[in-house]
Amino acid sequence: MRACATRRTTAWAVALMTVAVASTGNGQQPYRNPAPSVFEGAAREAWQKPELVVRALELHPGMVVVDLGAGSGFFTRRFAEAVGPTGKAIGLDVDPDMVAYMTADARERKLSNYEARLVKPDDAGLAPNTVDLIFLCDTYHLIGDRVAYFRRLKAALKPDRGRLVVVDFQPAAFPGSTHVMNPQVPQDELREAGYRLIKTDDFLPRQFFFVFVPAG
Ligand SMILES: C[S@@+](CC[C@H](N)C(=O)[O-])C[C@H]1O[C@@H](n2cnc3c(N)ncnc32)[C@H](O)[C@@H]1O
């Protein structure tokens, strides 16, 4: 049992290292992700707790939710189900293979409100005032020039109710990996980018969970 858990953890560590090889940390180079299956599966569900994450996001039918750096769409499909046919879940990624995987998955599951889009590393390509919630899981640390990026991204959030949620690995989850983040970093950077932290949660064993809104 313990060996199994170690293997699963190793799979994630290897996945993160694979991304590390492809990324310079400035977000300007193409990524080489692991196979989508690494981001999927029951093993991840045990520590990722997707149902708790979706519940904590307080999604409602009709909402527009963007999963930024969506990968295989592990969360995007769940968002599509949560916001229903009157809402929309949009999975954005810089990796065409992940976008193709999400597009096929949405079709297979007959989720017509689930769309996948290829984006540039420095531009999420979102129209102003169109999004209720922008969600990042294990992606924040991969984005380059973050203060400028998130300052621009703010315009996509709907006035008065738009939220930005950041989930990323705590340093203790993968000691020594560069694909973890000191939780203070997004708090400082996003304050500088013009956001206000309104909620933190500690129900995830490996990741922090922060909710921000545009400040003022
Ligand atoms: C570690 S994976 C996490 C995937 C997914 N969020 C999940 O939790 O399963 C990070 C993903 O972010 C994507 N990514 C990296 N930089 C990005 C950027 N600047 N804009 C959009 N996607 C990005 C990568 O291609 C990769 O699919």
Distances (CA, A) of 157 to 16, 78, 131, 212: 29, 20, 5, 11
Please indicate whether residue 27, judged by its CB atom, sits closer than 6 Å to ligand 1.
yes
Please tell me the residue having the least CA distance from ligand 1 atom 10.
Answer: 139
Q: How many domains does the chain have?
A: 1
pLDDT tens sequence for the chain (216 residues): 344 444 555 555 555 544 433 343 444 344 578 888 889 978 899 999 999 999 999 999 999 999 999 999 999 999 999 999 999 999 999 999 999 999 999 999 999 999 999 999 999 999 999 999 999 999 999 999 999 999 999 999 999 999 999 999 999 998 988 889 999 999 999 999 999 999 999 999 999 999 999 997
pTM of the model: 0.90
Boundaries of domain holding 122: 2-214
Please indicate whether residue 53, judged by its CB atom, sits closer than 6 Å to ligand 1.
no
Task: For residue 149, give the CATH number of its domain.
Answer: 3.40.50.150
Please indicate whether residue 102, judged by its CB atom, sits closer than 6 Å to ligand 1.
no
Instruction: Dump strand ranges (E) for the chain.
Output: 64-68, 88-93, 114-118, 133-137, 163-169, 195-201, 207-214
Burial class (CB in 10 A: 0-12, 13-18, 19+), 81: middle
**Encoding tokens for residue 153?**
């991204």
Q: How far is the centre of ligand 1, averaged over its atoms, from the C-alpha of 206 (Å)?
A: 17
